Amino acid sequence: MSHLFSPLSLGPLSLSNRIVIAPMCQYSAEDGQASDWHTIHLGQLAQSGAGLLILEATAVLPEGRISWADLGLWDEATEAALGKVLASVRRWSKMPIGVQLAHAGRKASTARPWDGGRAIAPDQEHGWQVLAPSALPFLEGEPTPQALDAAGIDEVVEAFAAAARRSVRLGLDLIELHAAHGYLLHQFLSPLSNHRTDEYGGSLENRMRLLLRVFDAVRAAVPATVAVGVRISATDWVDGGWDVEQSIALAKALEARGNHFLHVSSGGLDPRQQIPVGPGYQVPAAEAIKAQIGTPVIAVGLITEPAQAEAILVEGRADAIGLARGILYDPRWPWHAAAALGTHISASPQYLRCEPHEARGLFDVGRCD
């Protein structure tokens, strides 16, 4: 059997295969509320045959949104709107669905990417005061963030826990904490963005403190049947910043707390980053971390070909493969991968008659949703 299409457990959650649809921002919410776009977008991805679908970065507080059009889960209105979308998607798909809970920190209050993605000042339309571990902007000339005080940090921790409780009420199967790509939890981890002198800054132990507090609060807020994991940037790609060695220390600390999976990405914290982009360029970091822990590791980053994904798993470099832009481009990537690797995959009965003549047996009728 193909490794890519073999089952995998992320803590209490069992996946039918090892293809994970990674979170991808859609910038299509209204006051944090999921819209019809999300029904269309998530509906098609839920028909892809992947083992798991993780919703886009979902802000735990209004000021934690990357843009004014980001998805949120901070009150009854945002919970109800997402619940409506999920009910529609689940009517037609049994695919496990998770959510990525996030706070953008100093990278919040921006325009949508197709509107330029620029930072928006607090006194401008769609703008607000951004927060961070230290009063250091992401880019020179951008609005200066406000350094979080002790009460602000406590509010962030509780907001993650509250959003996790809402996730449980929505019946979501998995929660991923976003500690990557230069957002708030990553900002606390990296010495490039965290210049604090209190118990949340300085040493590695102190810089990990907020993420570990959030993780503990979320685990305490949800039942044991819900998988909880973390997405990290394994390296800032900047000398003197967060790196793989520190990521391994964090991975071990999370594992000791019962972390169910680690989703390994990189970069996004500092504009000076020098990223050697190429096929599978982030896999070495995932491999290095996996070698030191027993927690399942998801690799992501320019993994575009079925044989490439299969080889990563066969070689033991990761436990699952995350797809993002690639599955936006080809929402049937898992079907095509199963055909290429000579295995089968489930599909909804409405699609069974599209099975190609050259791939007879591709659709496993017995497992159709």
Burial of 101 (0-12, 13-18, 19+ CB in 10 A): buried
- A 10 A CB-CB count for 191 gives 16
Give the H/E segment covering residue 232: strand 227-233
CA–CA gap between residue 338 and residue 49 (Å, rounded)? 9
Lookup result for tokens 């118990």: 199
Longest dimension (CA), the chain: 65
CA–CA gap between residue 107 and residue 264 (Å, rounded)? 20
Q: What is the DSSP string of 3-22?
A: STTS-EEETTEEESSSEEE-
CA–CA gap between residue 239 and residue 217 (Å, rounded)? 32
CA–CA gap between residue 355 and residue 340 (Å, rounded)? 13
| Long-range Cβ contact pairs of 345-352 (< 8 A, separation 24 or more) | 345/5, 345/17, 345/49, 346/16, 346/49, 347/47, 347/49, 348/47, 348/92, 348/93, 351/47
Closest CA to 98 of 315, 261, 276: 261
Lookup result for tokens 């951008």: 142
Which residues belong to the active site? Answer: 183
The alpha-helical segments, DSSP class H, found in the chain are: 36-45, 76-92, 150-169, 184-189, 204-221, 244-256, 283-290, 306-314, 325-329, 333-340
